[in-house]
Structure 1
Amino acid sequence: MSKTTDQFSEYVNTLFLENATKEALTSPDLYHSHSFYLNLIPLLTENGKNDINIPAAKLEKLGIASYLYFRALLVYDHMTDSQTETTEKKTNLYLFFSFFERSAAELGRLYENSNPFWQYFEACKLEYFNTTLLEKQWSQKRPAITEAVFKKIASGKSAVCNAIVYALNGLMPKDFQHTPDWLECLQHLHIGFQYLDDLDDFKKDGIEQQWTYTHSQVEEAIKDQGHNLSAVSSDAKYRYLFLSGIAVRNLENAIDHFRLAKTIAAKTQLHRLVTFITSKEERCRNQIREISLLIEKTKDKAKKSTDHLQARTIQHSTTAGIDFMAGSLQEDGYWRDFLTSAGFGRDWITAYVVLQLSDIPGNEALIAKASEQLLSRTGAAYNENIIADADSINFFIWMQNNRGVNVPEATVVNWRSFMHSNGGWATYNNELSLREKLGLDKGVSVAGWLMPHNCVSAVAACVLSFMEINEAYDDTIGYLLKQQHDEGYISSYWWTSPIYATSFSLMALSKTKKYADAAARMACWLSNIQNSDGCWYNPAVNEPSALYTALAMKALLQFNDKHYTEEIQKGAEWLLRNQTGDGSWPTNRVLLLPATNVIQLETVEQWRKSSFGVNVIIDDHNRVFTTATVLNTLHLYEQKYSLIHAS
């Protein structure tokens, strides 16, 4: 933390507040979101450049005074914007006066009454309060807002921030020569910030009846198309914001203003400020990329069938499913699924699908086309934008083995490097490369992604079972059995249900009789949680899951198909009933993406349903991951029972 955050935290601890309120006021996440305002003075006075000669002690006092004033304004805005309970209003009123009075006292010690700073400060405050009053009026009248008016308002809302420039001048013998440049730089920065804030807060502002430029743009565009606004839901407006191109245009406008601000910062040799602005530009570009990917995902999902196929036999079902998979293979020879901030899953998905389809005869040409590029490599990753991981290499090696291809020794050595001494397998094993790829500094922990993961270890155990690396297999199984709960299941890290880790663990154990009791308890747990209609549920969304149904079925088939005949039969019938008209199976959000610091999933307070960011739940929207799994399981089922089943 900075000196200012330390001082602010110490001050908050002296206030007459409940501990929960104090913790909320001084949370690291909040400080992180305020990083620009906390660091603005150091950014503008970088290394004493530009002939700024102000004692460090005075800069520290100015830092705490400005941050206290900033927090007072935030409390003020919150009080005037939201409908809060009486108790919360009292707390906010107390906080406002506490922060404001302490800030005024600190400023009074720094500046005499005759200092020009006070006159400039009054002008800044007047512009700010006039702007916020106008915003309140907008929320009542909801007028159409032009871009020019938006920029003027954005500048007005940042007027108090300009007081920092005048405050620095007030501590020097004469006005600083770059004062106009600094003011212009801050103006462009805050216009860019406002574009981003309007996008980030679109839903929240709508709920709180706050009228913004972005809301005005969306509603005017919808009216121009001849729609009745009263019939358009808030969710529809939010979707239109992105699908219409408004969000991308505003992000491009934000980039333009960040570039102008960066040019000024570079001219005045404020290199840290240049770096900060560059990060904001990059964030805008990433958002534009994510919007493009999300639109692509939305179009892909819209093409998928929702009606039922009514397959007459497993062969009929398999043929339709293979046709779907062939149609989903992209021109570059890859299947793609599971959209995240890193993009669409590619290598991992393709290796997994080839593995599943290679057990089904008659698909040699399709498999050869899909695996051609993968086989020319020594490893695999989620996609081309992220470093190699153990799970992708798991399926890559398994795929090669199924196709009768020799696995290069270099691949095996690389793969084995993900195994920990306790027998568990981590998804990633190179901290420096991971940080670099994700753009994370040393202050952000990546321990959650570097530790052993049950789901990855379970698949590794399956691979080890046929590679005849007995010692590593026993160590991995030993690790997994230590993770087994009394009920029989093994928790997953990257998946919404223990079904994933438990099913692959049971598949690995089915290769040996050494751990019969542990395997039996896994099978019993899978049997016990089967739904009465034959499916297995995804607990994250409380819906049936074709993926989990197929995995659980396959595990029971490989473990003891005779003992679990009824469960397997019911599962197969459910899968046949629920295949869709295009040959695929419906999917839902099954993949978890925890933050890099998450060790225990239970510590995540809320999992968002989103393709982007962390602590999110993601769906295989293209259905290829789920459909390939189901096809493999149904083929194994047909082989085991040698029967043609009606749906």
Structure 2
Amino acid sequence: MESNKKITNHFFKNQIHFLKENFVIDNEQLFQQFSIAVERYCYFSFEMDKLIDGDYNFSEQFKSSDDKVYQIVNNHQKALRILLNIFPDNHRFWDDLDETSQRYYHILTKEKYNNNERKIFTIKDFEEYAISKHCLAYIPIKGLSYLFETKVDLQKMENIFTEIFLGMQMNDDIEDFNSDLLSGQWTYVHSLVQEFMTKNNINDNSELDKFRERVFYVSGIGEEFTRYSKERFISAKVLSQDSGFTELKVWLDNTISIIDQNEKIILNLTSN
């Protein structure tokens, strides 16, 4: 299958570019300053996530003098310096950032708790998680709305992003099925497979490679979740088209095309 990581990476690299179409940019320098701050803050957030997940090899970093922790802190500091030059310390923007950051780090803590509890999740649980895990990406929308006139209602923009985050998270959970299983990451995908195995009295088979991932696809859960992701992206595409987001629509067209290809692969595997 074509990597869904390309979908996520391309979106966040171009997030500000996608949003720009919806604002009357009457100060390009100010826009560029805010864009740089967002880029640095995104780096900080993504790397903090990796740090919390234990993805860093500190021995290798020491040997190569690649101090990732310093880079995380440095990008955070530089982002805040830029933002402080843009927004006064009593501006509503800082309350938005604080409230959203609290929501984001709370879901990371809850994620670790759920990894131990291994409960069976509902679709509501998944959607709450998916939105909270990406909630910091709403901040650029709010920030730009404080700086520039909007062409489309703020809530409509957030609705588009919400649909994208739901599709994106499901895509990531599908692609990361086996790696998450090995690292102890408990997701909605894994909980549904566990529920299916329990209901059908299926035991783990250590002699078969990636046994649970096989169950995921043979059971039809993989097909169902791929369809869910595709529907979310299609919904975002319709909303983007209605709101005049031409660049975002192009990205969504490409994303849906990738999912179509992956969907065909799954159908071929499960029908043979």
State whether TM-score is above 0.5. yes
How far 1:294 moved relative to its partner? 2.6
Cα separation, 1, equivalents of 2:121 and 2:186: 10
Q: Deviations over 1:150-188 (max 9, x none)?
A: 01110001110000111101213x677510001111011
Cα separation, 1, equivalents of 2:258 and 2:206: 34
**Given that residues 195 and 251 in structure 1 are in contact (C-alpha distance below 8 angstroms), is that contact kept between their aligned partners in structure 2?**
yes
Partner residue of 1:122 out of 98, 123, 133: 98
Cα separation, 2, equivalents of 1:261 and 1:33: 15
1:157 paired with 2:133, answer yes
Q: Deviations over 1:102-124 (max 9, x none)?
A: 11112112211132211111121
Cα separation, 2, equivalents of 1:176 and 1:155: 24
Describe the SS at the equivalent of 1:211.
coil
1:220 maps to what in 2? 195
Alignment-mate amino acid for residue 63 of structure 1: S
How far 1:231 moved relative to its partner? 5.9
1:37 maps to what in 2? 12
**Given that residues 204 and 211 in structure 2 are in contact (C-alpha distance below 8 angstroms), is that contact kept between their aligned partners in structure 1?**
no
Alignment-mate amino acid for residue 31 of structure 2: L
Cα separation, 2, equivalents of 1:98 and 1:263: 39
**Given that residues 75 and 95 in structure 1 are in contact (C-alpha distance below 8 angstroms), is that contact kept between their aligned partners in structure 2?**
no
Q: Deviations over 1:35-57 (max 9, x none)?
A: 211211121122xxx55234222
1:126-525 to structure 2, matched below 5 A, reads 126-172=102-148, 178-229=153-204, 235-296=210-271, 299=272
Percent of aligned pairs with the same amino acid:
20
Describe the SS at the equivalent of 2:24.
coil
**Given that residues 41 and 59 in structure 1 are in contact (C-alpha distance below 8 angstroms), is that contact kept between their aligned partners in structure 2?**
no
Cα separation, 2, equivalents of 1:146 and 1:229: 23
Alignment-mate amino acid for residue 248 of structure 1: E
**Given that residues 72 and 100 in structure 1 are in contact (C-alpha distance below 8 angstroms), is that contact kept between their aligned partners in structure 2?**
yes
Distance verdict in 2 for CA 1:226–1:232, change over 3 Å? farther
Distance verdict in 2 for CA 1:233–1:294, change over 3 Å? closer
**Given that residues 128 and 157 in structure 1 are in contact (C-alpha distance below 8 angstroms), is that contact kept between their aligned partners in structure 2?**
yes
Distance verdict in 2 for CA 1:86–1:53, change over 3 Å? closer
1:60 maps to what in 2? 32
2:44 maps to what in 1? 72
Describe the SS at the equivalent of 1:114.
coil
**Given that residues 104 and 132 in structure 2 are in contact (C-alpha distance below 8 angstroms), is that contact kept between their aligned partners in structure 1?**
yes
Cα separation, 1, equivalents of 2:38 and 2:207: 43
Describe the SS at the equivalent of 2:202.
coil
Cα separation, 2, equivalents of 1:150 and 1:31: 22
* The 10-residue stretch of structure 1 (185-194 or 241-250) with the greater mean CA deviation from structure 2: 241-250
Describe the SS at the equivalent of 1:144.
coil
Partner residue of 1:105 out of 81, 84, 87: 81
Cα separation, 2, equivalents of 1:222 and 1:99: 45
**Given that residues 258 and 281 in structure 1 are in contact (C-alpha distance below 8 angstroms), is that contact kept between their aligned partners in structure 2?**
yes
Distance verdict in 2 for CA 1:77–1:232, change over 3 Å? farther
Cα separation, 2, equivalents of 1:222 and 1:268: 44
Alignment-mate amino acid for residue 138 of structure 2: N
1:94 paired with 2:66, answer no
**Given that residues 37 and 82 in structure 2 are in contact (C-alpha distance below 8 angstroms), is that contact kept between their aligned partners in structure 1?**
yes
Cα separation, 2, equivalents of 1:282 and 1:249: 17
TM-score, reference length from structure 1: 0.39
Q: Deviations over 1:112-156 (max 9, x none)?
A: 113221111112111111111111111111111111110111000
As a proportion of its length, which structure holds more helix? 2
**Given that residues 125 and 160 in structure 1 are in contact (C-alpha distance below 8 angstroms), is that contact kept between their aligned partners in structure 2?**
yes
Distance verdict in 2 for CA 1:76–1:33, change over 3 Å? same
Cα separation, 2, equivalents of 1:54 and 1:215: 48
CA RMSD of aligned residues (A): 2.3
1:523 maps to what in 2? none
Cα separation, 1, equivalents of 2:12 and 2:232: 18
Cα separation, 2, equivalents of 1:180 and 1:145: 28
How many residues matched? 264
Describe the SS at the equivalent of 1:34.
helix
How far 1:249 moved relative to its partner? 0.6
Distance verdict in 2 for CA 1:232–1:73, change over 3 Å? farther
Unaligned ranges ≥5, structure 2: none
Cα separation, 2, equivalents of 1:51 and 1:63: 13
Alignment-mate amino acid for residue 39 of structure 2: Y
**Given that residues 38 and 140 in structure 2 are in contact (C-alpha distance below 8 angstroms), is that contact kept between their aligned partners in structure 1?**
yes
**Given that residues 79 and 89 in structure 1 are in contact (C-alpha distance below 8 angstroms), is that contact kept between their aligned partners in structure 2?**
no
Distance verdict in 2 for CA 1:249–1:120, change over 3 Å? same
Alignment-mate amino acid for residue 154 of structure 2: T
How far 1:216 moved relative to its partner? 1.0
Cα separation, 2, equivalents of 1:130 and 1:136: 10
